Amino acid sequence: MICAAMLAGGIGSRLKQNKPKQFVNINDKPILVHSIETFLNVKKIDKIIVSSPKVCIGKTKELMDEYFPKNDKIIVIEGGSTRNGTILNSIKYMKDQNCEKDSILVTHDASRIFVSEKLIEDSIKYAIEVGAASAVISATDVIFESREEGKLNDIPLRKYLYHAQTPQSFNIDKFLEIYGDLSEDEIAKLDEAMMLFYLRNADVKLFPGNRNNFKITHPFDITLAETILKN
């Protein structure tokens, strides 16, 4: 079984929008809908799990009924209080469906609306081969590390640095095996799925992402996205 978990954010404060980011329109269509449309084109995916904050589940279901009526490939579930909590809820849904061993979960930030079918397919392929995979792009700027306010602590070598993107995919049984071995302190450090594999030195395949696959985070990103879609 291969499922895609669409990770939706909270209130889009950095977008200066008084509503959850996934409901913000880009060219008269909600951000969440743009991303789901691309995932629906990937035939390998059995289910698209839309993770929603509890207070938004009703609105999210209405949106799915409006844009994807009677599409049983899409399921809306309640997300967790953290990113990994949301991932665990998605895995639970898969297990409740009696998915086969070594099933793959593809996680994606819904606000990356320009994700391509190729990125999704590559993510699935490498997760099957290696166990976990993430799209990345090389860093083009020098990165300063600061562990104290306003103080430069380190300048890592740029040639070794990459920006993580989604989709990120992994074998759910490997995920659960490692998660069950983590301490509470290690679990507290988790802010994305690949960190979990890194903490136990499990292989993660980094494959080329795409600079067009940017995350809509700030008002300028909306303007840029609308310009791209109009061209």
Q: What is the pLDDT of residues 1-45, one digit of tens each?
A: 999 999 876 555 566 566 778 899 999 899 999 999 999 999 999
pLDDT at 79 over 90: no
Q: Are 115 and 108 in contact (CB under 8 A)?
A: yes
163 CB burial (10 A radius; 0-12, 13-18, 19+): middle
Q: How far is CA 190 from CA 33, 57, 145, 146, 182, in A?
A: 28, 25, 19, 20, 10
| Amino acid 189: pLDDT | 78
Q: What are the sequence ranges of the domains in the chain?
A: 2-230
Q: Are 45 and 4 in contact (CB under 8 A)?
A: yes
CATH class of 2-230: alpha beta
- Using a pLDDT cut of 90, give the percent of the chain over it: 78
SS3 category, 131? coil
Q: What is the pLDDT of residues 94-145, one digit of tens each?
A: 999 999 999 999 999 999 999 999 999 999 999 999 999 999 999 999 999 9
Q: Are 7 and 85 in contact (CB under 8 A)?
A: no
Residues in contact with 11: Cβ distance below 8 Å, sequence separation at least 6, in sequence order: 17, 18, 19, 20, 21
| Amino acid 8: pLDDT | 73
pLDDT at 47 over 90: yes
User: Would the pTM count as exceeding 0.75?
Assistant: yes
CA–CA gap between residue 130 and residue 171 (Å, rounded): 9
With the C-alpha atoms ordered 90, 166, 226, 68, is the resulting torsion angle positive or negative? negative
Q: Are 168 and 193 in contact (CB under 8 A)?
A: yes
86 CB burial (10 A radius; 0-12, 13-18, 19+): buried
DSSP letter for 154, please.
Answer: B
Peptide bond into 53 cis (omega under 30): no
